[in-house]
Amino acid sequence: MSIHFQGHHLPVAGSKEEPLYALGARFETPEALVHAVDRLRDKGVSLYECFTPYPIHGLAEAMKLPKSILSLLVLGGGVSAVLIALSMQLIPSCIIYPLVVDGKPLNLLALPQYVPIVVALTLMIGAITAVTGMILLGGMPRWNNPMFAWDLFAKDASRGFFIAIEARDRNFSTSALTELLHELGAGDITAIHQEASEEK
């Protein structure tokens, strides 16, 4: 099976005139995908992305992805919420307009009465941080993506485990990678070009 032969028969998604975005392939089992990631890493390929219909145990470890920093962000959000909630209650209650009821204290001695709002606001801001953090760290919102040029992927990504190796990778070579992906048992290997913009 010559490289030249494969190069010729590689299906193309998107517009051929546009630059090549990535080489896409589909695996049928999560094991095969994790195995492929290992092999690609051994070959020095680093700019690739895996697409799975549900989280795969061990895939992120195989890709050597760092632990998500989301928990740190949420901690930051929570701590600042505590400070916001405390000052929101203490500054009006103690300084701007002290509302003395039954001569009860309003300062930090009366801390328990401020706790419910602190807890509620901390949880709310923590949750908002978690969701916006997940969206932004995951590169969203992004409604266009070169991957959508690949019909097989765009029509039903839940039907398999996909990988896309970006053309700007240092070790990218259509022929070598096609052969490697074949060897790893990938199907539907496709050259994904960007879609022609509609203005043209």
Partner 1 sequence: MSTPSIITATETERPDLHVLERPPQVLNNRGPLWVTDAVCSIVEGKTPLWWYAAIAFTGTLAAIGGACILYMICTGVGVWGSNSPCFWAWDITNFIFWVSMAHAGSLISALLFLTRQRWSLSISRAAEAMTVFAIICAGVYPAIHIGRVWFVWFLFPVPNSYGMWPNFSSPLLWDVFAVTSYLTVSSLFWFAGMIPDLAVLRDRATTKVRKFAYGIVSLGWLGTARQWRHYEMMYVLLAGLTSVLVVTVTTIVASDCATSVIPGWHATIFPFYFMVGAVYSGSAAILTLLLPLRLIYPQLRDLITPSQLDKVCKLLLMMGSCVAYVYVFELFNAWYSANPFERGAFWERFTGSSAWYAITCLSINLTVPQLFWFKAVRRCLPLVFILAILCNVGMWFERFMIVTSTLTHDFLPSSWGNFHPTIVDILTATGTLGIFFTLFLLFIRFVPIMSMNELKAVLPGTQPHAGVGHSNHSTEETH
Interacting residues with partner 1 between 135 and 194 (CB under 8 A): 135, 137-145, 147, 154-160, 182, 185-188
* H or E element, residue 180: helix 174-183
Write down the least CB distance from residue 155 to partner 1, Å. Answer: 6
Distance of alpha carbon 126 from alpha carbon 25, whole angstroms: 38
Distance of alpha carbon 7 from alpha carbon 1, whole angstroms: 11
Query: In terms of CB distance, is 35 or 43 closer to partner 1?
Result: 35
Please select the residue that binds partner 1; options are 31, 168, 171, 176, rule is CB under 8 A. Answer: 31
**Window contacting partner 1 (CB under 8 A); options: 4-12, 107-115, 167-175, 190-198:** 107-115
Contacts with partner 1 in 58-97 (CB under 8 A)?
Answer: 58-63, 65, 67-68, 70-71, 74, 88-89, 92-93, 96-97
Largest CA distance in the chain: 91
Query: In terms of CB distance, is 16 or 61 closer to partner 1?
Result: 61
Q: Check if the beta carbon of residue 168 is closer than 8 Å to that of residue 55.
A: no
Query: In terms of CB distance, is 68 or 171 closer to partner 1?
Result: 68
The terminus-to-terminus CA distance of the chain in angstroms comes to: 38
Query: In terms of CB distance, is 19 or 58 closer to partner 1?
Result: 58
The phi, psi pair for 51, rounded to 5°, reads -125, 120
Q: Which two tokens stand for residue 21?
A: 């975005």
